[in-house]
């Protein structure tokens, strides 16, 4: 079902208000990646149980599998069924055209990430293409997020520990954040302060002093990507400083796969896979609920 401009504008206005509430009330909206309908059900049930506003998000591979408008329809159906406050984010869109398509499909949040496709993209190229998306997003009022450099890691479970000293070389700086926000006009800055995509055998460490300096330097929203594998106390401090969006993916995928492997092993003669999914959904839902609690978002929904 195609979205009208009026529908999209209403939803985007609500999304902007949610981010303003998060900033003033010191909580963050969890942005939870969708692999399939089961993960959407898990996120929706967690949001309903805790009365929390959430984002669900899809990146390029999920777009190719599920389709923008199919996701829009699924999310709207579950929003109506469960009565939750839920928005959609296009995560790490590598192309301007893809970002524009998501805006046309009524997505409320757009993350344009030119460096995903071009890891060594110049800041000038990233700025120019980000500005193009920012200008196009005025059509509906969608919130645009970006960053001035490639963000490392991957949405997977890794067996090798990361080198924290190497990661520090990619940290955001207050001066760089301000310059990028001023040049692009983005609504949300994706900060790099020790957060890293993926799940690792060592816990992640966030530089909260740096986060505070970035918060003092810019007035737009701040997001944290790569939230999986991060001790919850960092999130609690981050939302108090002013982070309003935190992305979670790998922790959900690990819970999904390990639980599914267990269920399949215990039910070798069952071929109606749908009958095996309740335990899987419950496991993913438990992850989402724990993150919502760490983000101080319980009870913050406005439906």
Q: Could you state, in order of their start, the residue ranges of all structural domains in the chain?
A: 5-294
pLDDT tens-place string over residues 74-105:
999 999 999 999 999 999 999 999 999 999 99
Q: What is the mean pLDDT of residues 93-119?
A: 95
Q: What is the pLDDT of residue 177?
A: 98
182 an active-site residue? no
Residue from 73, 76, 91, 135 carrying the catalytic annotation:
91
Can you name the residues that pair with 33 across neighbouring β-strands? 57
Q: What is the pLDDT of residue 160?
A: 72
Cα–Cα distance, 99 to 89 (Å, whole number): 10
Assign 161 a pLDDT band (cuts: 50, 70, 90): low
Q: What is the pLDDT of residue 170?
A: 83
Q: What is the mean pLDDT of residues 7-21?
A: 98
Decide: 146 and 190 in contact? Cβ < 8 Å. yes
CA dihedral 253, 42, 202, 208 (to 10 degrees): 130
One-character DSSP codes across 158-189? -SSPP-HHHHHTT---HHHHHHHHHHH--SEE
Helix (H) or strand (E) run with residue 155 in it: strand 153-157
Instruction: Identify the CATH homologous superfamily for domain 5-294.
Output: Aldolase class I (3.20.20.70)
Does the pLDDT of residue 1 top 70, yes or no? no
For a pLDDT cut of 90, what percent of the chain falls above it?
A: 84
């Amino acid at each position: 079902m195609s979205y009208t401009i009026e529908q999209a504008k209403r939803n985007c206005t609500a999304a902007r208000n949610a981010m303003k509430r998060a900033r003033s009330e010191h909580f963050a909206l969890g942005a939870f990646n969708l692999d399939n309908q089961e993960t959407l059900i898990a996120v929706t049930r967690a949001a309903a149980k805790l009365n929390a506003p959430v984002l669900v998000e899809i990146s390029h591979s999920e777009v190719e599998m599920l389709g923008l408008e199919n996701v829009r329809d699924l999310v709207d159906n579950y929003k109506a069924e469960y009565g939750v406050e839920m928005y959609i984010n296009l995560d790490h869109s590598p192309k301007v055209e893809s970002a524009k398509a998501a805006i046309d499909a009524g997505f409320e949040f757009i993350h344009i990430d030119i460096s995903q496709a071009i890891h060594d993209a110049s800041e000038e190229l990233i700025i120019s293409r980000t500005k193009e998306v920012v200008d196009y997003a005025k059509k509906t009022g969608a919130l645009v997020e970006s960053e001035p450099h490639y963000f490392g890691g991957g949405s997977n479970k890794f067996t090798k520990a990361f080198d924290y000293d190497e990661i520090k070389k990619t940290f955001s700086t207050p001066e760089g954040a301000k310059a990028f926000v001023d040049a692009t006009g983005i609504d949300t800055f994706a900060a790099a302060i020790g957060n890293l995509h993926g799940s690792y055998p060592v816990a992640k460490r966030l530089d909260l002093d740096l986060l505070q300096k970035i918060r003092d330097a810019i007035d737009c929203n701040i997001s944290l990507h790569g939230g999986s594998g991060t001790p919850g106390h960092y999130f609690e401090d981050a939302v108090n400083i002013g982070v309003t969006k935190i992305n979670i993916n790998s922790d959900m995928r690990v819970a999904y796969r390990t639980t599914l492997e267990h269920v399949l092993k215990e039910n070798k003669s069952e071929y109606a896979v749908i009958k095996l999914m309740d335990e899987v959904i419950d496991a993913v839902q438990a992850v989402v609920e724990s993150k919502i609690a760490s983000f101080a978002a319980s009870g913050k929904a406005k439906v």
